[in-house]
Amino acid sequence: MKVPVFRYGRMVDLSRPLAPAQHPWVRYETKVESIAKEGQGWYVVGQMQLSGHAGTHVEAPLHALEDGADVGALSVEAFFGEAVILDLSAAPGATPVDLACMQETARRAGGVRQGDIVFIRFDWDRRAAGQYPPYPATEALGWLVGQGIKLLGIDSPGLEIEGDRCLPNHRLLFGRGIPLIESLVNLEQLRFSRCYVFAQPLPAQGTDAVPLRVLAFEGDE
């Protein structure tokens, strides 16, 4: 029996470190409880309390669909495979990316294929905070979904239409069973428009979102 070999040129970590956050929806707290009695040495059990939306996290359909799949029911196969990076880093804040722009960006990246993971790069992790990020127009997102993608990721805290509380973009994705990763980082460090992505959420049952580690592997050329 031969063990499979995974060869790659370079790895980029696309995950935001988990840290205590100020926003009331995204709390993250840790506590170390000392268990050992005196003279027994160091022995602790860490406790962690966090929002499922802390740091880089994945949202399951349950986030916006009452009968949608929870995190524990997501397919593990959606979280590894070939990914295409759509460079929309020039998109201005608080502005929709329309269908023509999305299609042209995809063309420049070599196209979006059936079964792809798609990461949208706004460079929002290093642009001015406090402003509403750019976001795909629902028509543009519908076109992406129609290409047969299996997972969507974005480096802003959300992909929703500004001011629309009915979450049309979330519902569009989740209605097709496509999970959404939010708050990616470091997409600008990737040198090529295609890479191999490996990410896995915890098999957390009954919840709508959970932080995850997202790694991108590039070839040598």
Residue closer to Zn ion, measured from CB, 89 or 207: 207
Count of residues of this chain found to bind Zn ion when the rule CB under 5 A is applied: 2
- Tell me how many degrees the CA angle 79-84-90 measures, rounded to the nearest 5: 125
Nearer to Zn ion (CB atom), residue 116 or residue 182: 182
CB of 157 to Zn ion, least distance (A): 7
Cβ proximity to Zn ion: between 53 and 150 the closer is 53
| 176 vs 149: CA distance, rounded Å | 10
DSSP state for residue 160 in the 8-state scheme: P
CA 170 – CA 65 distance, rounded (Å): 9
By CB under 5 A, the residues from 15 to 74 that bind Zn ion are 53
CB of 125 to Zn ion, least distance (A): 15
CB nearer to Zn ion: pick between 25 and 42: 25
Cα separation, 147 vs 150, in Å, equals 9
Q: Which is nearer to Zn ion, 96 or 179 (CB)?
A: 179
- The CA distance from 33 to 81, in Å, is 39
Q: Which stretch binds Zn ion (CB under 5 A): 29-37, 67-75, 143-151, 178-186?
A: 178-186
Which residue's CB is nearer to Zn ion, number 46 or number 206? 206
Q: Which two tokens stand for residue 119?
A: 């990461």
Interface with Zn ion, residue 150, by CB under 5 A: no
Shortest Cβ distance from residue 74 to Zn ion (Å)?
Answer: 15
Categorise residue 186: left if φ over 0, alpha if ψ from -120 to 50, beta otherwise.
left
β-pair partners for 10: 218
Question: Among 87, 93, 133, which residue's Cα sits nearest to residue 110?
Answer: 87
Residue 189 C-beta: closest distance to Zn ion, Å: 23
In the bound complex, what is the minimum distance in angstroms from residue 50's beta carbon to Zn ion?
A: 12
Question: Which of these, 205, 109, 96, 198, lies nearest to 156 by C-alpha position?
Answer: 96
Residue 176 CB, nearest approach to Zn ion (Å): 18
Site for Zn ion in 179-218 (CB under 5 A): 182
Summarize as ranges the residues that interact with Zn ion (CB under 5 A). Answer: 53, 182
